[in-house]
Structure 1
Amino acid sequence: MKIQEELFALRDEGYAAFQAKLIPGVPTTRIIGVQVPELRKLAKRYYKDPEHCRFLRTLPHDYYDEDLLHALLIAEEKDFACCLEETEAFLPFVDNWAVCDIFSPKAFSKHKEELLERIRVWAKSEKTYTCRFGIGMLMQHFLDADFDAAYLEIPAAVQSEEYYVNMMLAWFFATALAKQWEATIPYLENKRLARWTHNKAIQKARESYRISAEQKEYLKSLKC
């Protein structure tokens, strides 16, 4: 209750109304309206307080803002094993893109091999936001120095009717085109993705400043 009271003390009703428009699947009664910078401050403070452990055990939460805070608290956990355990416990309760996308544990960056094993599992999940989270983690951690062309098969194998999964897939491949063009472009040339995802990835890539004018024109020719 202490945490919930603090959240309500930070309530911004205008921000709550704004958030409600961005996450239409979340009832407005679940949105307190705490701005993200304030939530980040709370997460850093509460991580040092034993109170946060009890909070992490209290699932599901009553409010969307509590879910955001939960994700940010896990992100503060430095011990990888503990972080992964908390992540697995929380993922089934993630029910919107905003909580999913703010959820980025810092400990993951130093344990790539173990993380990749879990990404393979998450990406196969039938739960929308577990799958989205897995693809997001692959995009965040494996498109730069740790990239392997074989990793592109993980998102390419995902087949879903869920909008929020397919939007993440499009975002992933657009980012992959910007960072790893040669390895990624065959997935568009050979039409390996579902039509909507294929075209959305092209759209997002063509909107990117990291894609050259010549590449953008070529991508335009690949639309279907």
Structure 2
Amino acid sequence: MKTVSDRLASLAEPGYADFQAKLIPSVPREKILGVRLPALRALAKEIKGDDEAAFLAALPHGTLEEDLLHAILVGRERDFAAAVAEVDRFLPFADNWATTDILRPKVFARHADETLPYIRRWLASPLPYVRRAAVGFLMAYYLDGNFDPGILALPAKIPQEEYYVGMTVAWFYATALAKRWDETIPYLRDRRLPVWTHNKAIQKAIESYRVPPERKEYLKTLKIK
């Protein structure tokens, strides 16, 4: 019977791995197999029971694709406590933006109040990709139905020196501008973000089709030179 690693290897495309290596520079090329996301999602549907438990227990993994598959499997966990435990166990091993950005446990949206204390703890992590994941959870689950204005202050407070942390914080505020303009615009108008994050958030908002043209023109006046 093929192991998960064997099945991933059979789906590998070296040319696609070369392409991914350019997009995800924090992962060494030799750790990238080149398995496309639809194939990973299809494989995740086939892994169940003891095979899933054994795979999730085998941390750290040796390839990017194993990490991505792990994140997909954790994302489908329906039990809230189990999902938190799995995220807690997995996040310290995350070493790239692709893994953190695919990690989206749907159960968190149904338990927003219970999830928030854990997100606050992850935001305080010394590990940059743990912080990136936490900002991603805020962006995915708290800018729509679970919105509270206080949520907007959280990403602004975390260390953002690492490129992939600053980028996701900028992405968060650009998304918030599209969804919650009135509550979010003071963060740009009053310059509450680091300069790089401030300007990148404006850039992303201007590039977004969800922000009306007149608001984009106003955002241009808020850029810090």
| TM-score clears 0.5 | yes
Residue 5 of structure 2 corresponds to: 4
Between the two proteins, the alignment pairs up a number of residues equal to 223
Contact 1:20-1:28 at 8 Å conserved across structures: yes
Residue 165 of structure 1 corresponds to: 165
Query: RMSD value over aligned CA atoms?
Result: 1.0
Residue 185 of structure 1 corresponds to: 185
Residue 137 of structure 1 corresponds to: 137
Residue 17 of structure 2 corresponds to: 16
- Between 1:199-208 and 1:144-153, the stretch displaced more is 144-153
4+ aligned runs moved over 3 Å, structure 1 = none
How many Å separate the matches in 2 of 1:106 and 1:219? 33
Residue 210 of structure 1 corresponds to: 210
Residue 54 of structure 2 corresponds to: 54
Q: Residue type of the partner of 1:174?
A: A
Percent of aligned pairs with the same amino acid: 53
1:38 aligns with 2:39: yes
How many Å separate the matches in 1 of 2:156 and 2:61? 33
How many Å separate the matches in 2 of 1:147 and 1:70? 28
In the TM superposition, 1:101-180 aligns within 5 A as 101-180=101-180
Q: CA deviation at 1:160?
A: 2.3
Residue 199 of structure 1 corresponds to: 199
Structure 2: which 5+ runs fail to align?
none
Partner-residue secondary structure (3-state), 2:104: coil
Q: Residue type of the partner of 1:69?
A: L
How many Å separate the matches in 1 of 2:150 and 2:8? 44
How many Å separate the matches in 2 of 1:190 and 1:6? 52
Q: CA deviation at 1:49?
A: 3.1
Normalising by the residue count of structure 1, what TM-score does the alignment of the two structures yield? 0.97
Q: CA deviation at 1:36?
A: 0.6
Q: Residue type of the partner of 1:41?
A: A
How many Å separate the matches in 2 of 1:112 and 1:105? 11
Partner-residue secondary structure (3-state), 1:191: coil
Partner-residue secondary structure (3-state), 2:12: coil
How many Å separate the matches in 2 of 1:220 and 1:64? 38
